[in-house]
Amino acid sequence: MCGIVGYVGNRRVVPILLEGLRRLEYRGYDSAGLVYHLNNRLVRYRAKGKLANLEAVVDEHVGAASSTGLGHTRWATHGAPTEDNAHPHTDCSGDLVVVHNGILENYSALKAELQAKGHLFTSETDTEVLAHLIEDALTDDLVAAVREALSRVEGSYAVGVLWAGRPDLLVAARNQSPLVMGVTEDACFIASDIPALLPYTREVIFLDDRELVVLGKGEYTILQVDDGAKLVKPVTTIDWNAAMAEKAGYRHFMLKEIFEQPQAILNTISGRIIADTGVVDLPEIGLDHQALKAVERIALVACGTSWHAALVAKYWIEKWAGIPVEVDIASEFRYRHLLVNERVLTIAISQSGETADTLAGIRRATQLGSKVLTICNVVGSTMTREADGVLYTHAGPEIGVASTKAFTCQLTALFLLTLYLGQLRGTIDPATRRYLGGGLIDIAGVINAELPRLQEEIRDLIERYYDARDFLFVGRGLNFPIALEGALKLKEISYIHAEGYAAGELKHGPIALIDRDMPVVALVPKDSTYLKSVSNIEEIKARQGRLVLVGTAGDTHLTSLTEDVLYLPEVLEDLNPLLYTIPAQLLAYEIAHRRGCDVDQPRNLAKSVTVE
């Protein structure tokens, strides 16, 4: 939530800030702003709404002589999305500016204290407090003043600070909000996420909580916020490139990311499974084999789409590795009474590795003695650094706010983990392992072959549905979480109210919603629950529900139930979730596009939820 970017070097700063903000806009688009040093002054531009509004006032000539600056794109927490509340925020003099991602929880008390001292506030934000706190502490040592101010605030922050009095310096710090530095020979960058750095460098340093960095042209010093002690931190080389975070001719990032799934799944599998035997090797997992063998229970923790991946994994792990699995939404897990201990393996699933609730969940699990494994897409993110072990998905950068390829890669990684646990614990025989492993290797090819046809059929089909007010999605067993995922995708990008249900649960209440205006998308592959699902579909049809069925090629019974059938090839029953996700994603995408919605940046949302 909120993106910050900063640069100190020899190049023109404004284009670098705008490009960085464009690449971080997925983090929030309520307002955007930037500031740069020029002739011992700070020049600030801000605009309400999307980055395009800022770009309209900051043309290419603005700040041409400046090579130090900060930018911000906002997801509003405190204060409405107005220009006054847009970052950067200044102190009373306008000589000191702050950009911030996070929440300063004790800002009201600090604001009252500062106002009593005569400080004048011009916004409703929590962030502005920090600018005035630094002003209050500042004599001529900016770093000392920032440290002093940070010692007064409670809550989360990734901040960037500039002061007219030191045009050669940019000071940044983090606590519980992501911040990464980029380094080159003659310049330093800060950003909330790696894509903002990719056009300039792949050499990065991940800052940890309560660390502060002082950036100059090609030089930097990292300090502890609390005691000012100097730190030496490793430089990591990122294997993403700038083109991976571009649309590559697609209308939207979401569509590009849907079509990237076959390759992303292959990347996640690559080098981890032997085709002939199905033997899985996860050397990087970083957890002791004996400990994994002895695990008595697994706690899966995640939010949103990643939680749906966890729900699928429960079916797989219990069936093939014989380990009881609990699945929690992270915001519940972190606050409930947990029966978690050293015999429980906690697995956190997260695309970003920065989601505040999931991060808090793994911290609690660690306190209770549980080992933590993170399944994550972003190398070096906070969760990957705090967990005991990491299994990376290799989806590549996901920019669309609606998660697509990250989800199918999470499923892929979780299926690999299932096979691995089964192999370690001897719960899968070699023939079954070969069969399941072979199915996983094949699934990317199947999805690749089906994508173009599915998109075309779904484009025609949605003409009859795009203006619906509500939608239901139903599925059984492994496809129940996919029904939840289909409903989430549709509501978040098209703003149509949608719910997902276990098909057998409909008659316990939701069936009352069925009438001739209610579209129901039913996932009904020819699997072990097929006949039960068909009975549920008959019940919907008997009440005039408008059925869209997604089933197995050749199942002619489905066309006797409705004219709207999407067929998919038969794959291993266990892998249906990967395949049945694809039409659900395309349905949401095509409906949202047809309704004229902003697919990549839906209202009220941000990609990385770093606040509670």
Q: How far apart are CA 89 and CA 374, in angstroms?
A: 36
Beta strands in 483-544 (DSSP E): 497-502, 519-524
Using the Cα atoms of residue 566, residue 407, residue 448 and residue 601 in order, give the sign of their dihedral: positive
Check: CB of residue 294 under 8 Å from CB of residue 266: no
Between 156 and 306, CB nearer to ligand M6R: 306
Helices vs. strands in the chain: H and E counts, helices first: 17, 25
Burial readout 380-405 (b: 16 or more C-beta within 10 A, e: otherwise): bbbbbebbbbbbbbbbbbbbbbbbbb
Structure tokens at 29: 């688009």
Between 350 and 418, CB nearer to ligand M6R: 350
What are the CA-CA distances from residue 186 to residues 71, 194, 274, 428, 463 (Å)? 20, 19, 45, 55, 54
Place of tokens 């972003």: 378
In the complex, the smallest distance separating the C-beta of residue 384 from ligand M6R, rounded to whole angstroms, is 12
| Separation of CA 451 from chain center | 24
Q: How far apart are CA 69 and CA 42, in angstroms?
A: 9
Q: Which of 194, 163, 158, 201 is nearest to 176 (CA)?
A: 158
| Separation of CA 492 from chain center | 14
In the complex, the smallest distance separating the C-beta of residue 494 from ligand M6R, rounded to whole angstroms, is 12
In the complex, the smallest distance separating the C-beta of residue 518 from ligand M6R, rounded to whole angstroms, is 23
Q: Which of 498, 465, 494 is nearest to 483 (CA)?
A: 498
Check: CB of residue 517 under 8 Å from CB of residue 527: no
In the complex, the smallest distance separating the C-beta of residue 304 from ligand M6R, rounded to whole angstroms, is 2
Between 237 and 604, CB nearer to ligand M6R: 604
CB-based closest residue to ligand M6R: 304
Structure tokens at 489: 């995708």
Helix runs in 526-574, H state only? 530-542
In the complex, the smallest distance separating the C-beta of residue 309 from ligand M6R, rounded to whole angstroms, is 9
What does the binding site for ligand M6R look like in residue numbers (CB under 6 A)? Answer: 303-306, 350-352, 355, 358, 401-403, 492, 608-609
Check: CB of residue 385 under 8 Å from CB of residue 359: no
Between 34 and 383, CB nearer to ligand M6R: 383
Between 48 and 364, CB nearer to ligand M6R: 364
Q: How far apart are CA 476 and CA 463, in angstroms?
A: 27
In the complex, the smallest distance separating the C-beta of residue 530 from ligand M6R, rounded to whole angstroms, is 28
Check: CB of residue 580 under 8 Å from CB of residue 568: yes
Between 400 and 439, CB nearer to ligand M6R: 400
Name the residues annotated as catalytic: 2, 607
Check: CB of residue 12 under 8 Å from CB of residue 66: yes
Between 175 and 608, CB nearer to ligand M6R: 608
In the complex, the smallest distance separating the C-beta of residue 440 from ligand M6R, rounded to whole angstroms, is 21
Between 137 and 586, CB nearer to ligand M6R: 586
Structure tokens at 182: 């980029």
In the complex, the smallest distance separating the C-beta of residue 264 from ligand M6R, rounded to whole angstroms, is 15
